[in-house]
């Protein structure tokens, strides 16, 4: 089993209100009045109030090469990942004492919005006094499902090595993938939803000496499940061209929640002996308002059980893999009675679904 003891954030410098982003889009793209009236409501209906970015709004008005964007990704990814790691290991909200960098046995680095080789975990190890024998697991291309997958891989490793500790870092700088020349609706939807964010989670095994460092009721991962829809590569992801990453985002995603995701949830609940009304809370990656509403319909639950998914979406937008840890962090700040169960979920390219069963511990 794995115990999630702390979560830290690396919050980018620039906050832009949704209305300002809408105005920037009107300035950038040359649409007819008919097209504008059809496309702009996506900004009003996204349930996003503001987002954080590693660049200011003037950056979006200029052309940038793929190299320029990726160089900026590498610099900002290192800086904000270190912020998230420091916040995670020294977070007095969750920990009775700081966790030394030398205590970390594995670093799982999750990202899909930039490229680095050596992988970014190498840069992080060189910037902080981690041990030289740390296991490294860089995960790329998992998109919005990456945070849940990172937790699942940590859970499996810590179940095999219960005396160990793992650090899961999710870093997504979606703003740096923006393509000024892409006027397709998928880019408009992505521009209305996605923001930048970095999160880090500390997970420890049942026999780790650092388990005693946790301060509050924390979640233990009990089970994890993956599910892939065959031949659905065109639903979500990147089309990589000369300008960088061009977003693929099909309008069918909410309907896939009602069909494909429902099937996964029902199978998972059957295997784990769960019923929706037995679940205290749903730690769901908020893909967007329509996705959240489709999830509510599948789960037949109240918005209260998804409240922090809606809150994170409103305050930060969709930050791809990092988002689900933002949501979990909010639930960890609540007082949740030992024995209560939560389900953590995320959807990603593939088209894929990840589900984790969490139980809250003393």
Structural contact between residues 248 and 236, judged by C-beta atoms closer than 8 angstroms: yes
Strands (E), the chain: 2-10, 14-17, 50-53, 106-111, 135-140, 165-173, 196-205, 218-228, 236-241, 244-249, 281-284, 341-348, 352-361
Q: Which residues neighbour 218 within 8 Å (Cβ) at sequence distance 6 or greater?
A: 3, 4, 5, 94, 332, 360, 361
Helix or strand or coil: residue 206?
coil
Q: What is the 3-state secondary structure (H, E, C) of 250-266?
A: CCCHHHHHHHHHHHHHH
Spatial CA neighbour of 213 closest among 90, 342, 30: 90
What tokens does 105 get? 């046995």
Residue in the block written with tokens 């420890």: 204
- Cα 316 from Cα 290, distance rounded (Å): 17
Spatial CA neighbour of 204 closest among 187, 223, 218, 224: 218
214: β partners:
95
DSSP symbol at 179 = -
Residues involved in catalysis: 144
- Cα 214 from Cα 204, distance rounded (Å): 10
- Cα 58 from Cα 145, distance rounded (Å): 30
- Cα 20 from Cα 23, distance rounded (Å): 5
């Amino acid at each position: 089993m794995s115990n999630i003891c702390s979560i830290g954030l690396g919050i980018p410098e620039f906050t832009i209100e949704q209305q300002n982003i809408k105005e920037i889009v009107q300035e950038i793209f040359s649409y007819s009045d008919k097209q504008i009236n059809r496309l702009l409501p996506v900004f009003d209906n996204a349930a996003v109030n503001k987002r954080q970015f590693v660049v200011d709004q003037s950056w979006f008005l200029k052309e940038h090469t793929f190299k320029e964007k990726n160089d900026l990704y590498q610099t900002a990814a290192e800086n904000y990942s270190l912020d998230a790691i420091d916040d995670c290991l020294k977070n007095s909200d969750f920990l009775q004492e700081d966790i030394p960098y030398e205590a970390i046995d594995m670093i799982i680095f999750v990202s899909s919005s930039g490229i680095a080789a050596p992988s970014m975990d190498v840069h992080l190890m060189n910037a902080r006094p981690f041990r030289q024998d740390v296991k490294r697991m860089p995960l790329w291309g998992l998109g919005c499902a990456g945070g849940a997958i990172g937790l699942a891989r940590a859970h499996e490793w810590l179940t095999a090595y219960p005396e160990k500790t793992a650090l899961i870092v999710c870093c997504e700088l979606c703003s740096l993938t923006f393509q000024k020349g892409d006027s397709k609706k998928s880019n408009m939807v992505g521009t209305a939803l996605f923001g930048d964010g970095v999160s880090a989670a500390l997970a420890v095994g049942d026999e780790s000496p650092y388990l005693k460092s946790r301060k509050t009721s924390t979640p233990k991962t009990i089970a994890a499940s993956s599910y892939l829809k065959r031949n659905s590569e065109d639903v979500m992801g990147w089309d990589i061209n000369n300008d960088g990453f061009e977003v693929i985002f099909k309008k069918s995603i909410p309907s896939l929640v009602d069909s494909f995701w429902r099937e996964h949830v029902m199978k998972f609940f059957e295997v784990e002996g769960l019923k929706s009304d037995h679940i205290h809370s749903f730690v769901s990656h908020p893909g967007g308002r329509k996705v959240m509403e489709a999830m509510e319909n599948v789960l037949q639950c109240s918005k209260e059980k998804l409240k922090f998914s809606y809150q994170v979406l409103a305050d930060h937008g969709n930050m791809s893999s990092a988002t689900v840890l933002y949501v979990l962090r909010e639930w960890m700040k609540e007082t949740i009675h030992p024995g209560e169960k939560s389900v953590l979920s995320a959807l990603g390219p593939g088209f894929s679904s990840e589900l984790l069963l969490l139980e809250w511990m003393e």
